[in-house]
Amino acid sequence: MASASDGNHGLLLVISGPSGVGKTTITRALERNLGGTFSVSVTTRPRAEGEVEGRDYYFLSDIEFQQRADDGAFLEHAKVYGEYRYGTPREPVERQVAEGKLVILDIDVQGARQVKQTMPEAFTLFILPPSEEELLRRLRERRREDEASIRRRFDEAKREIAFAEGSGVYDAHIVNEDLDRAIDDASCLINHQRTMNVG
């Protein structure tokens, strides 16, 4: 049974949102403000220079990854861009939640659906833009891609939002119109959920 010193219980927090919505900024703020810890993912892609095993990712071969998937060792897993596989290991997440920790997963809508199926007590949060027009403006402001790539990302974002709003996977939605308010709203929701969680 969870026993956190602040009176809160352990919780798995799943955060999703389209590119350009400010999800990463919000997630990092929640990590700092609430003492959360990020789950370290497993991947089949080669380790990049400077990456550390167990800190950035756990690196596995395709065969090892498939064996673990077959054994039910992942909360969720997927093939990204048709090439490399990524997954969230079940054991460390369940252990840290049982220890009373807030464990954060930053994953897409399909991964969130898998997690909710395998760990229904997870708290799922989707970050929304104030409007489609504002999301498109933010994607352009990043100046990372050409217009065709931005349009593809924008179309994908609209599909993600439609899924999030209609699937029933997400426990709460927060509109990131004002960043500080979005962080405060998310913090309040998570703190409430932790105090309600009996571990």
Rounded CA gap, 198 and 100, in Å? 10
The pLDDT value given to residue 3: 39
Q: What is the pLDDT of residues 85-117, one digit of tens each?
A: 999 999 999 999 999 999 999 999 999 999 999
Q: Given pLDDT bands bounded at 50, 70 and 90, which one contains residue 197? A: low
pLDDT at 196 over 60: yes
- The band of 143, judged by pLDDT with boundaries at 50, 70 and 90, is confident
Spell out where 137-182 has E strands: 172-175
17-39 pLDDT per residue, tens? 998 899 989 999 999 999 999 99
What dihedral do alpha carbons 105, 23, 55, 124 form, nearest 10°?
-10
CATH topology of domain 11-196: Rossmann fold (3.40.50)
Q: At what angle do helices 109-118 and 147-166 cross, to 10 degrees?
A: 30
pLDDT digits (tens, 9 = 90+) for 117-137: 999 999 999 999 999 999 999
Across the range 72-83, mean pLDDT stands at: 87
Q: Do 84 and 44 contact (CB within 8 A), yes or no? A: yes
Q: What is the pLDDT of residue 178?
A: 95
Instruction: Give the pLDDT score at 79.
Output: 86
Distances (CA, A) of 57 to 1, 50, 61, 170, 191: 28, 12, 13, 26, 28
Q: Note the pTM of the prediction, 2 decimals.
A: 0.86
Question: What percent of the chain stands above pLDDT 70?
Answer: 94
Structure token digits, residue 5: 């010193």
Provide the edge-to-edge strand list for the sheet that holds 74-80.
58-59, 42-43, 84-89, 74-80
CA–CA distance from 160 to each of 20, 50, 72, 152, 154 (Å)? 13, 32, 26, 12, 10
Closest CA to 16 of 118, 139, 156: 156
The pair phi, psi for residue 169, each rounded to 5°, is -70, -35
Q: How far apart are CA 173 and CA 160, in angstroms?
A: 13
CB neighbours of 169 closer than 8 A, spacing ≥ 6? 109, 112, 113, 116, 124, 163
pLDDT of 147 strictly over 80: yes
Q: Are 190 and 123 in contact (CB under 8 A)?
A: yes
